[in-house]
Amino acid sequence: MTEKKIMLVCAAGMSTSMLVARMQKAAEKDGIAVNIFATSASDADNKLAEEKPDVLMLGPQVRYLESQFKKNLDIPVSVINMQDYGLMNGEKVLRASLKTIDEGKGTAS
């Protein structure tokens, strides 16, 4: 199984770093090979070019960027569920990310 790259974006990149740690822990527990990292909205374009992630997950506070990213990227883009984000539920956000990657493969234009 190839490692999936999941990129999280939030306003400053701070709150998502805790979520990254929880997602990583959930992935390890389930034996899922992933590379998860977080960045701020202002640095997102640089990170996208550098890292080439499989999916871009936006924190609820930057959901307004969703249409812009979807227009400019050829990878799936999704907004993290507000409740899962607020509770820092790494397991659920990991599952949502992987599901978004799978769905994105079927709908690539």
Q: Domain map of the chain by residue range?
A: 4-105
Tokens of 71: 């227009």
Q: Which of 10, 20, 77, 80 is catalytic?
A: 10
- Please name the CATH architecture into which domain 4-105 falls: 3-Layer(aba) Sandwich (3.40)
**Measured between alpha carbons, how far is 73 from 84 in angstroms, rounded to an integer?**
25
CB neighbour list of residue 75: distance below 8 Å, 6 or more residues apart: 53, 54, 55, 56, 104
C-alpha distances out from residue 83 to 2, 8, 59, 79, Å: 30, 16, 11, 12
Beta bridge partners of 57: 8, 78
Q: What is the pLDDT along the chain (109 residues), one digit of tens a residue?
A: 589 999 999 998 677 889 999 999 999 999 999 999 999 999 999 999 999 999 999 999 999 999 999 999 999 999 999 999 999 999 999 999 999 999 987 644 3
- Tell me if residue 10 is catalytic: yes
